[in-house]
């Protein structure tokens, strides 16, 4: 097991190197000289000179690459070009609000879509099943933007059940007052695709022999569905959940923008608007690392969920 983990960590090195080179090519080579990028955005010549010196723009590319590698290794990505705030500080302070919205969402979404998917898989082929699938298909086709715009207008603006936007200082206030509508909207948007996906996972299992055996020896339907089918279908579910996990670091771009939640998603959009490269570079590197780590974690969880899995 330990040997497996070490080997997997070792295999991350070339991929991480690739990510660093890709980000470097994108921002230092294609992105070009920050003096041009920032022309019109920062008027202070001294500040631009400072940024150029930090990046070593006048140096050859391999020196610039080395500067970037050192930034990644030390975790010090310098300061934001537009606000001069430390990048590490930006990411640390914006992570909280993003997680306040996304962690409850992740739990609610998983619990609800798994339950509903088990239910419709159980009555597969029935009218209920087909109606749910039709609703999901149509629900999936409507743009996320339309959901957010309409829900925000209707529930917050028209009915006044929720604040239109904003963010407070206390955690509980944020969670229950400001996050509830964003979570509700994100739930509506994410349940449809997840329900459809989980349903196909369950359908693959529900006709297996062990289900019939379980019934034959008199297990309750609840036990068959929740214990046996769910556990056997857990590998693709884990894959799907773990693939979404690095998204927690990214926040929800649109939700945070609409509801003025000071999270990472909003920060990324702002950074793109202002050509604030250090923020995007830092986040890309961190999220790439998180993606690889969660892939590894997923593989370890396969083993826990299904002892037949051989890690090699």
Over the chain, what HEC string results? CHHHHHHHHHHHHHHHHHHHHHHHHHHHHHCCCHHHHCCCCCCCHHHHHHHHHHHCCCCCHHHHHHHHHHHHHHCCCCECCCCCCEHHHHHHHHHHHHHHHHHHHHHHHHHHHHHHHHHHHHCCCCHHHHHHHHHHHHHHHCCHHHHHHHHHHHHHHHCCCCCCCCCCCCHHHHHHHHCHHHHHHHHHHHHHHHHHHHHHHHHHHHCCHHHHHHHHCCCCHHHHHHHHHHHHCHHHHHHHHHHHCCHHHHCCHHHHHHCCCCCHHHHHHHHHHCCCHHHHHHHHHHHHHHHHHHHHHHHHHHHHHCCCCCCC
Binding-residue pattern over the window 198 to 237 for another protein, x denoting contact by CB under 8 A? --x---x---------------------------------
Q: Would you count residue 23 as binding another protein (CB under 8 A)?
A: yes
Nearest-approach distance from CB 301 to another protein, in angstroms: 19
Short-list 104, 103, 119, CA closest to 230:
119
Nearest-approach distance from CB 81 to another protein, in angstroms: 11
Cβ contacts of 61 within 8 Å, gap of 6 or more = 28, 29
Nearest-approach distance from CB 187 to another protein, in angstroms: 19
Nearest-approach distance from CB 18 to another protein, in angstroms: 3
Answer for which of 280, 282, 301, 302 binds another protein (CB under 8 A) is 280
Q: Which 287-306 positions form the footprint of another protein (CB under 8 A)?
A: 287-288, 291-292
Cβ contacts of 237 within 8 Å, gap of 6 or more = 114, 198, 201
Q: Which 88-127 positions form the footprint of another protein (CB under 8 A)?
A: 124-125
Query: Among 72-80, 144-152, 209-217, 300-308, which window interacts with another protein (CB under 8 A)?
Result: 144-152
Answer for which of 3, 13, 30, 159 binds another protein (CB under 8 A) is 30
Nearest-approach distance from CB 243 to another protein, in angstroms: 9
Strand partners, 86: 79
Query: Among 53-61, 172-180, 230-238, 277-285, which window interacts with another protein (CB under 8 A)?
Result: 277-285
Q: Which is nearer to another protein, 61 or 176 (CB)?
A: 61
Q: Would you count residue 86 as binding another protein (CB under 8 A)?
A: no
Q: Which is nearer to another protein, 154 or 171 (CB)?
A: 154
Q: Would you count residue 40 as binding another protein (CB under 8 A)?
A: no
Query: Among 69-77, 88-96, 222-230, 283-291, which window interacts with another protein (CB under 8 A)?
Result: 283-291
Query: Among 58-66, 68-76, 105-113, 253-261, which window interacts with another protein (CB under 8 A)?
Result: 253-261
Nearest-approach distance from CB 264 to another protein, in angstroms: 10
Q: Would you count residue 283 as binding another protein (CB under 8 A)?
A: yes
Buried b vs exposed e over 32-42: b needs ≥16 C-beta within 10 Å?
eebeebbeeeb
**Site residues, another protein (CB under 8 A):** 14-16, 18-19, 22-23, 26-27, 30-31, 37, 124-125, 129-130, 137-138, 140-146, 149-150, 153, 157, 200, 204, 246-247, 250, 253-254, 257, 268-269, 271-273, 275, 277, 280, 283-284, 287-288, 291-292
């Amino acid at each position: 097991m330990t040997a497996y983990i070490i080997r997997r960590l070792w295999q991350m090195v070339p991929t991480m190197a690739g990510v660093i080179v890709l980000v470097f090519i994108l921002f230092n080579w294609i992105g070009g000289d920050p003096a041009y990028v920032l022309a019109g955005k920062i008027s202070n010549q001294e500040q631009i000179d400072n940024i150029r010196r930090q990046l070593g723009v006048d140096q050859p590319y391999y020196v610039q690459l080395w500067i970037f590698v050192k930034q990644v290794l030390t975790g010090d990505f310098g300061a934001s070009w537009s606000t001069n705030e430390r990048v590490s500080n930006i990411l640390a302070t914006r992570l909280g609000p993003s997680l306040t919205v996304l962690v409850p969402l992740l739990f609610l979404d998983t619990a609800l879509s798994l339950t509903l998917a088990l239910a419709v898989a159980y009555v597969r082929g029935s009218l209920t099943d087909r109606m749910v699938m039709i609703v999901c298909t149509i629900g999936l086709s409507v743009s996320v933007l339309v959901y957010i715009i309409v829900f925000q207008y209707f529930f917050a603006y028209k009915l006044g059940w929720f604040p239109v936007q904003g963010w407070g200082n206390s955690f509980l206030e944020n969670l229950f007052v400001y996050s509830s509508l964003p979570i509700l909207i994100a739930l509506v948007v994410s349940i449809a695709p997840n329900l459809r996906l989980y349903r196909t996972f369950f359908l693959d299992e529900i006709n297996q022999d062990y289900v019939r055996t379980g019934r034959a020896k008199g297990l309750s339907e609840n036990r068959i569905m929740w214990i046996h089918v769910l556990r056997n279908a857990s590998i693709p579910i884990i894959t799907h959940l773990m693939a979404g996990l690095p998204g927690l670091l990214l926040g929800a771009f649109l939700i945070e923008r609409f509801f003025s939640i000071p999270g990472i998603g909003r920060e990324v959009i702002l950074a793109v608007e202002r050509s604030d490269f250090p923020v995007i570079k830092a986040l890309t590197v961190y999220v790439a690392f998180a993606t690889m780590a969660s892939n590894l974690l997923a593989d370890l969880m396969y083993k826990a969920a299904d002892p037949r899995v051989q890690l090699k």
